[in-house]
Structure 1
């Protein structure tokens, strides 16, 4: 066991509350939290730690943006192909059938929205399923981006 010297300090109630909360969450003694904070304050490299943490966070955000960009490209291409296919195979309706078709279309669209709402509520996403099925590209491997199987 290391030798320690007891020190009495005064902390603002809010700060003491934060120390207690962090100690409970990490399951360590409050003195460990305060000791680590003082050591961090006294060390001259806190700026370097902050810069490294920011750099890691920015890298992570960059990868997330790249993923969103890929997902958006897939989504745009999917909608484009669907519309092209739909326009190609669907003949225009005669004037007399358009009213019935609008009513039925509205009914079907409501069903679509309900299904979409249920799927979004469960967290299931088409793009997540799709990304699991796509093999990693050599470009992704070259960038050392971790690819999940």
Structure 2
């Protein structure tokens, strides 16, 4: 490797430190200075890129934690719904034969109302929870919430 002579002016203390390191390592003062400059330029060049990588790594870590929380919450909601359906099916007695036709018609009507509410809830900017519980409107829903959503059904007089 070819070298070019460069004249540098340094403070006397720094010159003594360079000479001491060169003697301790058995090298020339020029090689110590050249290595120090190479190291400085290498860290300077890698500095912004390294900092950007660290920032990206931290941001990805935070995003990963948020996604993990969302997945955990989603799994909990799924388990809650499945548990509710299982308990509902286990604790409701079978329908007597003489009421089967009217129960089927009632179930069909309820299912269609459920689908209508579900489609309404999937529209952007709409929340079923706000409609049922009045979270944003500040309404006082002391009852069961059926009258507000149109789900009073056949048992409206039986609910408190």
The structure whose RCO (Cα within 8 Å, separation 6+) is larger is 1
TM-score (norm 1): 0.45
TM-score (norm 2): 0.42
- Structure 1 or 2: more helix by fraction: 1
